[in-house]
Each structure stands twice: as C-alpha cells, then as structure tokens.
Structure 1
C-alpha cells in the first residue's frame, strides 16, 4: 500500500468554473467572455490545488 494518499482531482474545478462563467456571462449578454473568465479561474484553481498537493506530498 502507498504511504501517502492519491492526488486531488482538480478537473472538476475547471468544469464547474467554465459552466458557471458561461451562465453568468450569458446573464450579462457576454457568454464567450464568461466562458473564458471561467476557464481562467478554473485553471488557476486547479493549478493551485496541484501545487498544494505537491507540497503536501513533499515532491
């Protein structure tokens, strides 16, 4: 057995942020801008989670 837990899943953060950004952007008549903003926020959150996970494992 592994002595450390598996990595966290950050892909869900990207998916949820893209959907939320598209919906919020659509409400403001800017769905493309909302999609891009959601994508940027989701990727930033996933990278932050990945870096925190790496630091926790000690790599």
Structure 2
C-alpha cells in the first residue's frame, strides 16, 4: 500500500488537485505495480503565511 504525501502552497482549484492525484496515482501504479485502489495520497495545503523559503514568508514575496 503506497502512501504518498504531497505538501504544497494552497491556491489550486479542486480540478487541478483532482488531476494531480490522478497523475500521481498512475505514476506510482506504473512504477510499483500496486493497484490504483491501494495507493493513498495525502495533500497538505499550507497557507502562504505558514511557509518560508530563503527566510521570507511566501506571503511576503512579490
């Protein structure tokens, strides 16, 4: 049972997330042989003011 965790900044549409999990499921199934129904994906969406790169909050970046 593959378990995939994906962390990303919030702001994508439900349709974009739907396509993401579909594509990831297909890739994991193809490369591991696991049936799609046994692949689990957890999406962790972070607010831009809760993520930093280079010491600057994403919400403060231009």
**TM-score of Structure 1 vs Structure 2, range by shorter chain:** 0.3 to 0.5
Using the size of structure 2 for normalisation, the TM-score is 0.40
TM-score, structure 1 as length reference = 0.41
Higher helix share: 1
Q: Which structure has the highest strand share of the two? A: 2
